[in-house]
Chain A
Amino acid sequence: MIFDLAFIWAGLIAVAILAYVILDGFDLGIGILFPLLKGVRHRDQAMNTVAPVWDGNETWLVLGGGGLFAVFPMAYAIILPALYAPIMAMLIGLIFRGVAFEFRWRTSRWKTAWDLSFFLGSLTAAVSQGIILGALIQGIEVESRAYAGGWWDWLTPFSVMCGVALVAGYALLGATWLIMKTDHALNSRAYYLAWYLMAAMAVVMAVVSIWTPFLDAKFMARWFSSPSVYYVSIVPLITFGLFVGLALSLNAKRDNLPFILTLGLFLASYIGLGISLYPHMIPPSITIWQAAAPDESLRFLLVGTAVLLPIIIAYTTYSYWVFRGKTKSGEGYH
């Protein structure tokens, strides 16, 4: 392990992507759950819980894209053409769900249409992101700094499975977010949904976790050979503990805890993913150091990031603080 600029940046990009996944995850999850919420009141209320923050959440995705362009331009130039179709689908999905936040309040005749747009857009974005992740894990063919595979390489049973898994994960995040942010009937509904989604999450996480090592001998070696097995087996153990905790907290109706434990599940999956992929930026051939921009570029952006990122975290936290607590039915924002 070499602790240099490229390594620091790989860490920062990883953090940005994780921040995106969990922050936009719960508001995409609410979109995915939209058809399962009963009636316009619940939908209004559910949307109100994320309306003030969704825009900031999606900015992390721009940071992920922009950051990759800045510090790993070669990876950016390979991954995006390789995953052309799912990325385009994700962008279109994000358009439909993003504008729904505004448009559904501007009309009553077409409100149902924009609800549908919110649901389908969120679902498309989630499936696409899962497929993108799956396609990256299974590897991208590279020749002389460019993508060398075909246009449908991204579409495999594994990548589709990852798409399904992310939908389940986002939906669980959305449901536990609603448990935390709402009360009365919607809160009960979210508890009810969370049980099923937790079960679904457990199944898809197990399938993806077991499937991944079979994709590549290197993954297999890292997870199942001595001595690394003694370290990495902590991850599935923690994951199991988180699921138990989640079930107990749902049973005990602890409103804040299920969301936090679900965040823990995402973090554990993410660490597991990192264990499989490191030190590769694009499996199976491109490492972090091969993909990195010249040190001068990394250094220049790092200086500003060191100053700006804490400020961003401070005012983002402030914004969440302003809108803290339950978003009550029938009140909206006063």
Chain B
Amino acid sequence: MTDLPLAIDLARIQFAFTVSFHIIFPAFSIGLASYLAVLEALWLKTGRQVYMDLFTYWLKIFALAFGMGVVSGIVMSYQFGTNWSVFSDKTGPVLGPLMGYEVLSAFFLEAGFLGVMLFGMNKVGKGLHFFATLMVAIGTLFSAFWILSVNSWMHTPAGYGFNEVGQFIPLNWWEIIFNPSFPYRLVHMVLAAYLTTAFVVGGVGAYHLLKDRTNKAARVMFSMAMWMAAIVAPLQIIAGDIHGLNTLEHQPAKVAAMEGHFETQKGAPLILFGLPDMVAEETKYAIEIPKLGSMILTHEWDGEVKGLKAWPVEDRPNATIVFWSFRVMVGIGVAMMMLGFWSLWLRLRGKLFDAPVTYMMAMVMGPSGFVAVLAGWITTEVGRQPYTVYGVLKTVDSASPLDAPAVAISLAVFAGVYFIVFGTGVFYILRLMSKKPQNGESGLEKGIPLRAAGGLAAQPDNNQPQTIG
């Protein structure tokens, strides 16, 4: 095949594009499924209507987000084969069974109970309905477990050998699944999903509090979200730091790129900002704090930190991207923690429900979790280059025998379709969020029709009489 490198670059862009769109939905639905389970549990325990109102309010949004997660996820399960067939053939014996377990233990569980969760309240009774919600929430976590195990193995492969045709073969499943970076990545991602959801919920609550500070449901969701911010954001920063040390141990080149270090040095500075230049092999315009880099990474003022020049040019990840995506992620994490702590202070003084400026900050921060999740994934995935299986299988040796035009056309189609379809979906979600939660939120009580997927008595946008029901 001709023009292979171009085809590979296009295939990489296509994968990055489709997976970036996809991760937005699970990052939200992992957190939202758990939130819904908590709300329903609180409702069952206390019997307070406000919890049911919130459950119904967020259930409609969950249905939309989940649907988009499903269809964008089906694309992912076939992308491996269409564009990365050599990778698939070689890693299939190791990674395939893990993905098989994801489908069997997670996807079926979510899909099997989603119907009951969305439409079954008056068909199965409260207890069974809660069980269905719980199964959906557990399904999202199982899914995270398996897919992060797969991804982590690509970063820190373990427990494998090779057969005579060059395939990776499994030697020790325990080592494969619990590969060295997996526990750190799993905790970091699940916390990220929870934080992302918390800030969406907090942003929506803040929006409605700005309009009406007495809205009970808005108060409850804002308060719950700020508790999450205050507790989970600091935990996430600690988890991220530990994950970073694990990366330093297994992928020092990635850390060098994140830090913008080109020279190997003792007592390396912490570069706060700068512009890593891969060609000139230096970080330009650097603003740095002497020796702090070594202190953070090695816990010694004069510890030695490897720079990118320790690796051949073709083995270096792109520091320009990784340096900045890392800073975006960390910056948002710190801002989340500060908002969480500020809310604690407001709560202590009894001002949580009289803080319009804070509400505006929370609204601005509403989508920040998605940005942080994407920035984090860009950091870790671009930082893994030029390998698909770190240190073993190069990206350039992983692709299908592709022609650039075929990939280019399908990329263009995916781009067009995703912007139209998921753009519309996000618009519908925002429109649902802009409606204030009602006392006796429509949907699950008797007499009002509960309709198709997510259409729990949805109001058409021009409030015409319902066509059915």
Cross-chain contact A77 with B88 (CB below 8 angstroms): yes
**Stretch among B166-174, B208-216, B234-242, B268-276 lining the A interface:** B166-174
Q: Chain B interface secondary structure, helix, strand, loop or mixed?
A: helix
With contact pairs A59-B107, A332-B468 given, residues A301 and B97 touching in the complex (Cβ less than 8 Å): yes
Q: Range of interface residues on chain A?
A: 35 or more
Indicate if B451 sits at the interface (CB-CB under 8 A). Answer: yes
Indicate if A331 sits at the interface (CB-CB under 8 A). Answer: yes
Residue of A51, A99, A151 near B421 (CB, 8 A) is: A99
**Which residues of A line the B interface, CB within 8 A?**
40-41, 44-45, 47-48, 51-56, 58-59, 61-63, 65-74, 76-81, 84-85, 87-88, 91-92, 94-96, 98-99, 101-109, 111, 145-147, 151, 293-294, 296-297, 300-301, 304-305, 308-309, 312, 315-316, 318-319, 322-323, 329-334
Q: Chain A interface secondary structure, helix, strand, loop or mixed?
A: helix
Cross-chain contact B94 with A297 (CB below 8 angstroms): yes
Indicate if B346 sits at the interface (CB-CB under 8 A). Answer: no
Tell me the complex Cα distance, A223–B349, Å. 84
The count of A-to-B residue pairs whose CB atoms sit within 8 angstroms is 296
Cross-chain contact B99 with A102 (CB below 8 angstroms): no
Cross-chain contact B428 with A322 (CB below 8 angstroms): no
Indicate if B311 sits at the interface (CB-CB under 8 A). Answer: no
With contact pairs A62-B107, A69-B99 given, residues A333 and B119 touching in the complex (Cβ less than 8 Å): yes
**Which residues of B line the A interface, CB within 8 A?**
63-64, 67-68, 70-75, 77-78, 80-82, 85-86, 88-97, 99-105, 107-109, 111-116, 118-120, 122-124, 135, 163, 165, 167, 169-171, 173, 400-403, 406, 410, 413-414, 417, 421, 424-425, 428, 431-432, 446, 449-455, 458, 460-462, 464, 467-469
Cross-chain contact B78 with A80 (CB below 8 angstroms): yes
Residue of B68, B88, B432 near A99 (CB, 8 A) is: B68
Cross-chain contact B461 with A108 (CB below 8 angstroms): yes
With contact pairs A62-B107, A308-B104 given, residues A69 and B119 touching in the complex (Cβ less than 8 Å): no
Cross-chain contact A95 with B403 (CB below 8 angstroms): no
A152 to chain B, nearest CB (A): 10
Cross-chain contact A312 with B123 (CB below 8 angstroms): no
Residues of A within 8 A of B112 (CB): 56, 312, 315-316, 318-319
A62 to chain B, nearest CB (A): 5
Residues of B within 8 A of A58 (CB): 70, 74, 111
Residues of A within 8 A of B163 (CB): 294
A312 to chain B, nearest CB (A): 5
Tell me the complex Cα distance, A78–B86, Å. 9
Tell me the complex Cα distance, A294–B71, Å. 31
A41 to chain B, nearest CB (A): 6
List 9 A–B pairs whose Cβ atoms lie within 8 Å, in order of A's numbering. Answer: A63-B108, A70-B92, A71-B96, A76-B89, A80-B85, A87-B82, A92-B414, A102-B425, A300-B170
A151 to chain B, nearest CB (A): 6
Cross-chain contact B77 with A106 (CB below 8 angstroms): no
Tell me the complex Cα distance, A74–B114, Å. 34
Residues of B within 8 A of A51 (CB): 115, 119, 452-453, 455
Question: Which residue on chain A has the smallest CB distance to residue B80?
Answer: A69
Residue of A59, A293, A309 near B92 (CB, 8 A) is: A293
Cross-chain contact A101 with B67 (CB below 8 angstroms): yes
